[in-house]
Amino acid sequence: MPDISAKPVRTIGSLLTARRGGKGRLHWTDVFTYFYLAFGIFLMFGPVVWLVLSSFKTSSALLEFPPTFLPLGQIEVQVEGYEKPLPLYEVKQEDGTVTQLAQIRRIGIVSQMVDPQNPGETIQVPIDQRSEVREFRMAWDNYRDPLERFDFTRYLYNSVVVTAIATLVTLLINSMAAFGLAIYEFRGRNAIMLFVIGTLMIPITVILVPVYLVVTSMGMINSLWAVILPGAATPTGVFLLRQYMLTIPKELIEAARMDKASEWRIYWKVVLPLTMPAIAVLAIFSIMWRWNEFLWPLIVLNRSEVYTLQVGLNAFQGELDVQWHYILAMTVVTLIPVTLVFAFLQRFITTGIASTGMK
Amino acid sequence: MAQDSDLTFTGRLAGLAGAPVRLLFRMLELPLAAIQRGIGVRKMPWIFLLPNLAFFGLFVILPLFINFFYSLTGGIQLFPSDRPFVGTEQYGFLLECENITDPQTCREDRFWKGIYNTLVFVFFQVSFMVLFSLITALILNREIRARGFFRAVFFFPVLLSPVVVALIWKWILLRDGILNAFLVSIGLDKILFFVSPEWSMFWAIFVSIWAHMGFYTLILLAGLQAIPPDLYEAAEMDGTSSERVFWRITLPLLWPNMLVVIVLALIKGVQIFDEVFVLTGGGPGTATQFIVQYIYNTGFTNQVQNFGLASAASVVLGVALFVLTMAQLAATRRKDDA
């Protein structure tokens, strides 16, 4: 299985001239391949790029139709005799020349303007003859305001707490179970394996009501524990870790027992360090699952103080349909962690999925 | 010796995580050693399995039985002891139809609408997703440069949360969104995508394919890379046409993976909720309301929380998923044999 991806791209030219089988004439399938890949980049990344660019636009720029590609802001100039900076416009004169004027105020369809070079004289201009002078500018307020004025910092905090604790709990109890199933031969092991396989088939969508009952009975409604605990024991995690632990030589464990190490010490100091690669894969997956979870938190978290980022974002877009500039910015905030995890651990994630089929 | 490696290992963990990890080890070491002295080494696996089994039992197995019991009860109370036993009344209510092909003649028409919507969704979503996953996997399996990069491109949306996916596309599909700007620029009229039932269903299918295709592509790609290259070399020596190579070598050898992909996609498709709920809210009307949203609405959002009916509907969903999972296990077994 030669890994082409390991070779660096030398030039754009070599990228475009890669042929079927490496040599010979350009086959139609080569053309199709690169057309498909180019379209793939556009379709898969384009929406995300558009989201990020849009998130830096001001609320008024977002209402514009047709939209501009880059976030732009109107230039403001300081004019002598006026306290605040005035917005700059391009105005088409009757003789066809274009001059730049600053607007003092607007009355109906007439705009009172002033020439920044000659501040003494006020000029009346119909508003349809002026257009904004703009430059590339990022509206950082879109990010600052929701984090300061709304509860987004709290949602962010809740999501981080849920993700971190849930991942730790998952890693601990799943690796313990995997250790129990991989290292020992005992009566009932196959029954337990079957039991664990059985739970694979039961997604939470099928048992929403009774899990809600269990969580309510434990007094955990509107507590982050209600999100953390029910999904902590994942069959896929047990499987992944067990398969990995099966490769650890039995002699190592026998040797540790000879040295009078307790079983717990063998698990923690011998087996767990050797299982680190598999633990890392499970940790990455657990982080992504928990960060992205939606339906279950939506059911058990009804008070906005305990919302996770996903639930908060959904509630926010429902309530304030017009505030797209905030929604877009917070959507970007929500996708940053998984994007970073992906950027650094892409190879782990893709090989992990391809070999274990988990998502 | 053990003490020595102990020191180096704990020494390496002297980071931020080091202290709590050490503390956890110390906290559990003494009690577990005591337990081991009490019950002996041979019973220790049960101690290691205990936390996980407790979680499975409490949050999966027990709820499964309670769910079935719930579906046989009525009333509005949450606690099963307060609920009157009504037998199969909930199922009767769900299944009472004059003509099951027409949801409007059913007493619980939203349930049937949800089922039909889910069937339509799953049919189109799974067929197109498998088709495009296959094409993408075949292309990524060619000797192209920067294959790792392109693999990442198609895979990236898989990682995004359903809420993020839905909001990205909602932003694109708004009345004054970029797609309508494009339509206007090529001389067409704006389309109100979320006002039309057909367009809403189309975008529900499209967006869910966009978000999940990379996952299935990856499984197929792994299958393609496992096909021995000498088969292709032999075919080339014999001058076999590439269409024939595809139908006679690639597809048969990829078939076990295809089967896994199809069944997995079916299982996930039947459970569709998150993306579409945020994207369309189930609308317009009930045009994109699926079976999971029916359960969610019935049990958790309506003024009267009808837990019995929601449970009955989820038993129906559970049976469907059980059948699909059995199919998947059969498919996986065939793959292992091959």
Q: Are B25 and A268 in contact (CB under 8 A)?
A: yes
With CB atoms and an 8 Å threshold, state whether B219 touches A353: yes
Bond from prior residue into B20 cis (ω within 30 degrees of 0): no
Tokens 């936390």 — which residue?
B51
B227: tokens are 């096909």
Distance from CA of A288 to the nearest CA of B (A): 7
Distance from CA of B83 to the nearest CA of A (A): 13
Which helix H or strand E contains B217, and what residues bound it?
Answer: helix B197-225
Distance from CA of B103 to the nearest CA of A (A): 22
Q: Are B278 and B162 in contact (CB under 8 A)?
A: yes
Measured CA to CA, the distance from residue A248 to residue B291 in angstroms comes to 45
Q: Are B204 and B279 in contact (CB under 8 A)?
A: yes
Which member of B24, B161, B318 has the closest CB to residue A310?
Answer: B161
Measured CA to CA, the distance from residue B97 to residue B116 in angstroms comes to 14
Q: Which residues of chain B are under the pLDDT cut of 50?
A: 1-14, 338
Which member of A192, A205, A357 has the closest CB to residue B271?
Answer: A205
pLDDT for the residue numbered A89: 78
pLDDT for the residue numbered B321: 85
Alpha helices in chain A (DSSP H): 12-16, 28-54, 59-62, 141-149, 152-183, 189-200, 208-217, 225-228, 235-245, 250-258, 263-265, 272-274, 276-292, 295-300, 309-319, 324-356
Of A166, A240, A174, which is closest to residue B52 (Cα–Cα)? A174
Q: Is the dihedral of CA B298, B303, B305, B306 positive or negative?
A: negative
pLDDT for the residue numbered A296: 92
Measured CA to CA, the distance from residue B56 to residue A349 in angstroms comes to 26
Measured CA to CA, the distance from residue A38 to residue B188 in angstroms comes to 25
Q: Which residues of chain A are under the pLDDT cut of 50?
A: 1-22
Which member of A66, A174, A211 has the closest CB to residue B63?
Answer: A211
With CB atoms and an 8 Å threshold, state whether A208 touches B154: no
Q: Are B163 and A313 in contact (CB under 8 A)?
A: yes
pLDDT for the residue numbered A166: 94
Measured CA to CA, the distance from residue A143 to residue A55 in angstroms comes to 8
With CB atoms and an 8 Å threshold, state whether A51 touches B156: no
ipTM of the complex: 0.84
Cα end-to-end span (Å), chain B: 46
A133: tokens are 């002078």
DSSP state of A135: E
Of B264, B245, B260, which is closest to residue B138 (Cα–Cα)? B245
pLDDT for the residue numbered B276: 93
